[in-house]
Amino acid sequence: MPIEVQDVWYVYPTGVEALRGVSLTVHEGDFVVIMGPNGAGKTTLVKTLNGLLKPTRGRVLVDGVDTRKATVAELARKVGLVFQNPDHQLFCETVEDEIAFALKNFGFPEEEIEERVNWALRTFGLEEYRDASPLALSGGEKKRVALASVLVWDPKYLVLDEPTLGQDHAQKEVLRELISGFLGERAVVMVTHDIEFVVDFRPLPRVVLLAEGKVLANGRAEEVLTDPELLRQASLLRPQVPETLYHLRELGLPVRTDVLDLWEARDIILSARREPR
């Protein structure tokens, strides 16, 4: 059963219309990336998925349950939301406690808590930090602790808000591997600006572009992220691979521009070169 966002409007108490008729479906096992400029409503949208915000109009169904009729704690069992900045949630004395926090809130039995915490520490490479203070870790490690503390309760839908913020290239690769490992078993919804990070995923995700509270586009990454007009409307930088191909076509070379893969682009360039002019 999917998450269904049905014509959702959200108006903040200040009167700001953050979402203006957004519709979207996330099936089990889907990989969806939500992109758009600041203020487009991306964070508002993900907060409606676990009930933190209830739609002003329209509704959100999680596995058939209307979010207005359930508490955040109930919805959170299925929809795990990892926030942007780990500094806004880490508070325990040890990494172990931090990871176990949600399990205790959800009322898991003791033995299961221990088992799951061990799993999380292993999967996220945090075993050596078991007894360390989460507040004393590096940026990349904190990110992994935050991620671990959500995945530990095995939510069906994993929602990540700007996972690559403040991370260097190597740390992003680690995140990419971890996230890729969770694809397929569960649905992953990722909000991000980092277009070069998105285009390196295999398989490529479905991309939803949001601007001014409305859905601009909802389709395959190869189509959405290579369309200059859509990218402009969504205030996104054009990824270097299709951008290069685009310029090449302007210069007269017969190349396709809906390509995000570096190796595919290389092959296209090499074969275009051998074409008789």
Which residues form the interface with another protein (CB under 8 A)? 37-38, 47, 50, 52, 71-73, 76-77, 80-81, 83, 85, 87-91, 101-102, 105-106, 135, 138-140, 149-150, 153, 165-171, 173, 193, 195-196, 235-241, 243-248, 250-253, 262-263, 265-266, 269-270, 272-273
Q: Which is nearer to another protein, 21 or 182 (CB)?
A: 182
Q: Which is nearer to another protein, 139 or 219 (CB)?
A: 139
Q: Which is nearer to another protein, 71 or 177 (CB)?
A: 71
CB of 68 to another protein, least distance (A): 16
CB of 144 to another protein, least distance (A): 13
CB of 248 to another protein, least distance (A): 5
CB of 67 to another protein, least distance (A): 13
Task: Determine whether 2 is exposed, middle or buried from the number of CB atoms within 10 Å of its CB (0-12, 13-18, 19+).
Answer: middle
- Pair of tokens at residue 265: 């682009």
Q: Which is nearer to another protein, 93 or 131 (CB)?
A: 93
**Cα–Cα dist 124/148, whole Å:** 7
Q: Which is nearer to another protein, 109 or 170 (CB)?
A: 170
Q: Which is nearer to another protein, 184 or 256 (CB)?
A: 256
CB of 141 to another protein, least distance (A): 10
CB of 73 to another protein, least distance (A): 5
